[in-house]
Amino acid sequence: MPETPQSPLAIYQSHLDKGELAYQWSPEAGRAVFYPRVVCPYSGGTNLEWRIASGLGTVYATTVTHPFQSGDPYNIVLIDCDEGFRMMSRVEEIDPMAVEIGMRVKFRIHPATDKQPAYPVFTPVEG
């Protein structure tokens, strides 16, 4: 019986589990593809390569969510990664209200727990 290939999401998660921020590259379109998928949304091709991001980016947009019943406020951001893709995440280790558009950030892993797999977050770049 032939081996079933891993889904793009499983490959992406396996990179996160190793502390890497992976994305796909479309040679036909000549650009980064994110969120992981089987077909390139720009060219329609299926030849997508996996690459590892530098982990650096810039805050494109930010908002702060205030939980209704309990919990501290937290930010939700869109990050323009230096490799040319945008992703949704959070900026940690800073007051959520202090996150600004244009702020340089770097990737780190929020570790897995019993209830949730590892996921990417960002922290401010010093200086």
Averaged confidence pLDDT in the chain: 92
Neighbours of 59 (CB within 10 A): 21
CB 80 within 8 A of CB 23: no
pLDDT at 68: 87
Q: Is the dihedral of CA 19, 111, 120, 126 positive or negative?
A: negative
What number is the average pLDDT over the span 59-74?
Answer: 92
Domain boundaries, the chain: 8-124
DSSP secondary structure letter of residue 91: B
Q: In which band, very low, low, confident or very high, does the pLDDT at 71 lie, cut at 50, 70 and 90?
A: confident
CB 57 within 8 A of CB 107: yes
pLDDT at 69: 85
pLDDT at 14: 94
100-120: pLDDT as tens digits = 999 999 999 988 888 889 899
Whether the full predicted model's pTM is greater than 0.85, yes or no, is yes
pLDDT at 3: 62
pLDDT at 4: 60
CB 40 within 8 A of CB 86: no
| pLDDT above 90: residue 2 | no
